Amino acid sequence: MPKIIGIEHIVLHVGNLEKSRRFYDAVLGFLGFKLEWEFGRVLGWDNGDTMVWIREAGAAARKRKFRLGDIGFHHYAFELARSADVDALHEFLKQRKITIVDPPADYPSYGEGYYAVYFLDPDGMKFEAVYFEEKRKRRARRRRKKAV
């Protein structure tokens, strides 16, 4: 049976390519991504494991705003290595006056050590940056089992 080993990339349609380019270049750059591709009205950032692509939506679609709760994308979560990274990103977002939906907080109902910040891109698409201790422990257990 095939096994998914990660998210290779995500492609987002945006309302204003230049405005979104500035947003994603800043946020993704802060998170260790580099802008590596530019094909006309399509841009792609890469961190070596995952790619994030944006492209300008068609003219008719740009007349509508993204609405959280509609069919489709709800939010995209970036997993961070430390809880302090969540706090650092939060400060970065505040300095740039990026809309923060929920400041860093613990979410014990999601699992042990789930600590996240939620924010919006210029079109209102929701993103999360999370440190998840329980997931890190599960990975460590799997690595130990494989080593035995």
- Among 113-117, 130-134, 142-146, the minimum mean pLDDT is found in 142-146
Residue 148 has pLDDT above 90, yes or no: no
The pLDDT value given to residue 59: 85
**pLDDT value, residue 65:** 80
- Mean pLDDT score of the chain, rounded to an integer? 92
Q: What is the pTM of this model?
A: 0.89
3-state secondary structure 8-29: CEEEEEECCHHHHHHHHHHHHH
CB of 18 closer than 8 Å to CB of 60: no
Q: Read off the pLDDT of each residue in 108-118 and give the average, rounded to a whole number.
A: 94
